[in-house]
Structure 1
Amino acid sequence: MTTHASLLRQITDFANRADPYPLYKELRKTPVLHEEEGPFVISSYWDIENLLHDPRISSDANNLANPTAEELSSTEASGLPPAFIRLDPPEHDRLRRIANSSFGPPHQPTRIDSMRDELHYITKELIDGLGDARQIDLVDQVAYPLPVTVICRLLGVPREDEPRFRSFVDPIVAGLDPDTRTSEQSMRTAQEARLQLGMYLNGLVEERVREPRDDMLSDLVNSRGPDGAMTTMEVLSTSVLLLIAGHETTVNLITNGMLTLLRYPEHLERLRDDPTRSVKIVEELLRYEPPVQLLPQRTCITDIEVRGVTIPKGARIWLALAAGNRDPERFKDPDRFDPDREDLAHLGFGSGVHSCFGAPVARLEAQIALAELARRLVNPRLVEDPPPYRQNAVLRGPRHLNIAFDDVRP
């Protein structure tokens, strides 16, 4: 029997990364769990959704009663201001509106959809590049390079510089892990990587000031709409956010998706025969195996009552999205992967003012990648199950996904 005193530690423990869902089931027995000196952990679907829309919940670490050095570190070693996901309205809203003006409707209504042909082409190139191989690591050979290529092209990063991003991104993402055993060395490495990425992007910003191009970075630098202009530092912090968030969650969505389809081969076969099923499959994957499992950086700006429990002003709140996504109060037979559900709701991209900024492109990338993999790989099968996972409990996904197959269809 799992005890409450150890439950949160077990969820963040790497030993349970391959299958945390029994722990989430146990967590839901206490919808508002508060371990001694720890955060308040919310695990019910409805409670999480309500709090994501509640203006009394803050994303700004400065509103914590006793913020740690790690929670305030985003502005120190890197020299960059916090990205807008770490801010509250109205400043969050201003920066997000400026960023969105170069990303989608109403200013760029076709920017994402117009990439559909290019996404197909990039995916085709990656699968063609497998050559005569009959076993691959899906992460390294497809799931990682696809979204990295896409977000770099959206922002305007030169193609020859794309391989550099893994050296920046991996330590930054590792620094997001909420496991209390994360070392000070990991934090310093993440801060240094963020600094190096910011310095690199600053060079691109200076180029776009002199010579704007048809890319998001130029739009961010030169935006002069009703919300005013971003400062150079705001452009840099927003660009770092887009580069990290713009591909890391999509890598996990594609990898978790293929892993799930190989465990449910009937759905893989149906996708092979009907690529349009990828839309429903991706929505169910966002519920069943969400790439973002936890939102650990929240606090309340006043006392809040949730299910009879008073969460005091300044307390830390963790929202267990993955637990809410399998809440039987919300979903029928929640532990079953079923893309034919009538109600394909989920918390996979969050909700409210901080809902995932890049959701449209992430959806499209995953839909195209999974449909093409299903169509072109002949008799694909897992080499090992479960696969080796990444350390991170927040952005959960396999570090490698080795797949064997008999052939590659043209």
Structure 2
Amino acid sequence: MTETSAWQQILDHSHRADPYPLYAELRKTPVIRLEDGSYVVSTYREIVALLHDPRLSSDMRNVPELAADAPAQAAEEGTPTPPPTVIQTDPPEHDRLRRLLTRNFGPPHRPDRIDSMIPHLFEIVTNEIDGFAGTDGSGTTRVDIVDDFAYPFPVTVICQLLGVPREDEPRFQAMSDAVVQSADPTTGGIAERQRRRARAIADLGQYFAQLLDARHGQRGDDLLSGLLGGDGDGDEEPMSPEEILSNAALLLVAGHETTVNLITNGMLTLLRHPEVLDRLRRRDEPDLAARVVEELLRYEPPVQFLSNNRNTLDDIEIAGTTIPKGSPVTLVLAAGSRDPDFIPDPDRFDPDREHNEHLGFGGGIHYCFGAPLARPEAQIALTELAHRLKNPRLVADPPPYRASPSLRGPRHLLVEIDGVSPAHHDPPHPPAHMPPYVDSWSSPGTPTDSPRP
């Protein structure tokens, strides 16, 4: 099997349940060129080096094919193209947008925002699991961890954080699905997918515009209100209304789609590793939930790869291959996190690893914006599921998977239980050793061989 054919099989839905043997095949050649002129990078050190290389751009307007397509797209749409989101820009534009977003989201500017949400996260999870028990809390029950739990939980959280009515979920979910589908490399060329993404972001932006109009200028303590306040530092230019709408659309999608997969992949993995599930159920290791989630981000990450959302500003030589200027690049984060040249025994699920350097939240300047929220969401969700579900067992293994090869997770996860245990009344506290919010490899360059402390 060639590495190119391995990549084609990774994209094939028939391999969605277990792409990891194919990732091992892909890593035999760290950098491969596809027929469309794009490149795929699959080994840990090479991925990290590129994530920190300023010559690798996140602004797809630099790709010649897309730059030539932009006027035709504008004419076809008949409406202005939405401005790039924070993950589609480079410094200094990226830095301004990210500072304004983080100032209103949480750490480091508002460390209390996420911490203050912990009791409410626990309350949402408790209420959802209570619903599994039925009327008398006894007997065998079948639940879908996706539809009954992993989806409604982060959707409720991100709606409250952004100030979006929870009852609008049916309205924005179709637009959110369109954004996710635009990242699927099996659904057309890069220019076509970028057009679909722009349309979907514009539709969500229009939804937010209507939402703001309905508020009649009233603001609250939500993130959207904070962005509208334009509280930049001194002479820092605040976001334009169009930038606010575009980035709000991004946060609505990113704030729940990946967390759904993280929780669902997590529960599936725990059911396949009952010894870890039992340890989590006992609650006698205060930091175990944090270590479980970090290992899940390495072992079964919700984001498998960054599909053609990077491009080269100059020729870049890496792993003996020169990637020419203007080339789209896909970074296969899931393959890098299981690279045996960096982490020992990578195909073993082991939350007791002494060092766990993973790419589950990416790296560099685009290190996942929502990591401070995703971590406690997953920790609370998995701890409560482990503690409260009586004798949970899988109905089907493997379960059916979503279409997307990049945002990978089960479409349904059916589990039978023999009832639900009572909830603890005290919400958990974030463990003292929670991983840092920022990526500590923040400067460009190739990482050292030593893991971060």
Alignment TM-score, normalising by the size of structure 1: 0.94
- Equivalent-residue separation in structure 2 for 1:183 and 1:141 (angstroms): 35
Moved more, 237-246 or 198-207: 198-207
Q: Which residue of 2 aligns with 1:212?
A: 219
* 2:289 aligned residue (275, 278, 284): 278
Moved more, 138-147 or 191-200: 191-200
* 1:251 aligned residue (260, 266, 269): 260
Q: For the structure 1 residues 58 and 191, does the alpha-carbon distance in structure 2 shift closer, same or farther, using more than 3 Å as the test? A: closer
Q: Which residue of 1 aligns with 2:180?
A: 173
The alignment partner of 1:66 has SS state of helix
The residue type equivalent to 1:141 in the other structure is: D
> How far does residue 271 in structure 1 lie from its aligned partner after superposition?
0.4
- Equivalent-residue separation in structure 1 for 2:175 and 2:133 (angstroms): 29
Q: For the structure 1 residues 291 and 354, does the alpha-carbon distance in structure 2 shift closer, same or farther, using more than 3 Å as the test? A: same
- Equivalent-residue separation in structure 2 for 1:74 and 1:267 (angstroms): 51
> Which consecutive residues of structure 1, in runs of 5 or more, have no partner in the other structure?
none
How many percent of aligned residue pairs carry the same amino acid? 56
Q: Which residue of 1 aligns with 2:302?
A: 291
Q: Deviations for 1:105-164, whole angstroms, at most 9, x for unmatched residues?
A: 343220011100000000011111223271111100100001000000001112332343
Q: Deviations for 1:339-387, whole angstroms, at most 9, x for unmatched residues?
A: 0000022000000000100001001100000000000001101100110
* 2:273 aligned residue (234, 251, 264): 264
Q: Which residue of 1 aligns with 2:243?
A: 234
The residue type equivalent to 1:246 in the other structure is: G
For the 8 Å contact 2:202–2:246, the answer to whether it is kept is no
1:56 pairs with 2:67: no
Q: For the structure 1 residues 72 and 105, does the alpha-carbon distance in structure 2 shift closer, same or farther, using more than 3 Å as the test? A: farther
The alignment partner of 2:40 has SS state of strand
Q: Deviations for 1:219-276, whole angstroms, at most 9, x for unmatched residues?
A: 0111231222111100001100100011111000000000000000100010001273
- Equivalent-residue separation in structure 1 for 2:37 and 2:13 (angstroms): 19
The alignment partner of 2:343 has SS state of coil
The alignment partner of 1:367 has SS state of helix
> How far does residue 198 in structure 1 lie from its aligned partner after superposition?
1.7
The alignment partner of 1:407 has SS state of coil
> How far does residue 285 in structure 1 lie from its aligned partner after superposition?
0.2
- Equivalent-residue separation in structure 2 for 1:150 and 1:69 (angstroms): 40
Q: Which residue of 2 aligns with 1:157?
A: 164
Q: Which residue of 2 aligns with 1:6?
A: 5
- Equivalent-residue separation in structure 1 for 2:171 and 2:16 (angstroms): 28
1:394 pairs with 2:406: yes
The alignment partner of 2:311 has SS state of strand
- Equivalent-residue separation in structure 2 for 1:312 and 1:30 (angstroms): 17
> How far does residue 189 in structure 1 lie from its aligned partner after superposition?
7.2
For the 8 Å contact 2:141–2:417, the answer to whether it is kept is yes
1:120 pairs with 2:122: yes
Q: For the structure 1 residues 154 and 345, does the alpha-carbon distance in structure 2 shift closer, same or farther, using more than 3 Å as the test? A: same
Q: Deviations for 1:299-321, whole angstroms, at most 9, x for unmatched residues?
A: 11001100121111011111110
> Which consecutive residues of structure 2, in runs of 5 or more, have no partner in the other structure?
135-139, 423-453
1:311 pairs with 2:311: no
Q: For the structure 1 residues 197 and 281, does the alpha-carbon distance in structure 2 shift closer, same or farther, using more than 3 Å as the test? A: same
Q: Which residue of 2 aligns with 1:383?
A: 395
The alignment partner of 1:403 has SS state of strand
- Equivalent-residue separation in structure 2 for 1:238 and 1:73 (angstroms): 24
Moved more, 176-185 or 232-241: 176-185
The alignment partner of 2:415 has SS state of strand
Q: Which residue of 2 aligns with 1:92?
A: 94
Alignment TM-score, normalising by the size of structure 2: 0.85
- Equivalent-residue separation in structure 2 for 1:234 and 1:350 (angstroms): 23
> How far does residue 96 in structure 1 lie from its aligned partner after superposition?
0.7
The residue type equivalent to 1:105 in the other structure is: P
For the 8 Å contact 1:65–1:313, the answer to whether it is kept is no
Q: Which residue of 1 aligns with 2:83?
A: 81
The alignment partner of 1:67 has SS state of helix
Query: CA RMSD of the aligned region, Å?
Result: 2.4
1:130-149 alignment runs, 5 A limit: 130-132=132-134, 134-149=141-156
The residue type equivalent to 2:397 in the other structure is: D
> How far does residue 338 in structure 1 lie from its aligned partner after superposition?
0.1
> How far does residue 8 in structure 1 lie from its aligned partner after superposition?
1.8
> How far does residue 180 in structure 1 lie from its aligned partner after superposition?
4.7
The residue type equivalent to 2:354 in the other structure is: E
- Equivalent-residue separation in structure 1 for 2:187 and 2:200 (angstroms): 21
- Equivalent-residue separation in structure 2 for 1:10 and 1:192 (angstroms): 29
Q: Deviations for 1:178-232, whole angstroms, at most 9, x for unmatched residues?
A: 1155899998876655443222201233456711211101001112312221111
Q: For the structure 1 residues 295 and 144, does the alpha-carbon distance in structure 2 shift closer, same or farther, using more than 3 Å as the test? A: same
Q: Which residue of 1 aligns with 2:437?
A: none
For the 8 Å contact 1:171–1:186, the answer to whether it is kept is no
The residue type equivalent to 1:393 in the other structure is: P
Q: For the structure 1 residues 190 and 52, does the alpha-carbon distance in structure 2 shift closer, same or farther, using more than 3 Å as the test? A: closer
Q: For the structure 1 residues 74 and 22, does the alpha-carbon distance in structure 2 shift closer, same or farther, using more than 3 Å as the test? A: farther
- Equivalent-residue separation in structure 2 for 1:18 and 1:131 (angstroms): 29
> How far does residue 11 in structure 1 lie from its aligned partner after superposition?
1.2
Q: Deviations for 1:3-36, whole angstroms, at most 9, x for unmatched residues?
A: 2342221111111111100110000100111133
Corresponding residue pairs, total: 409
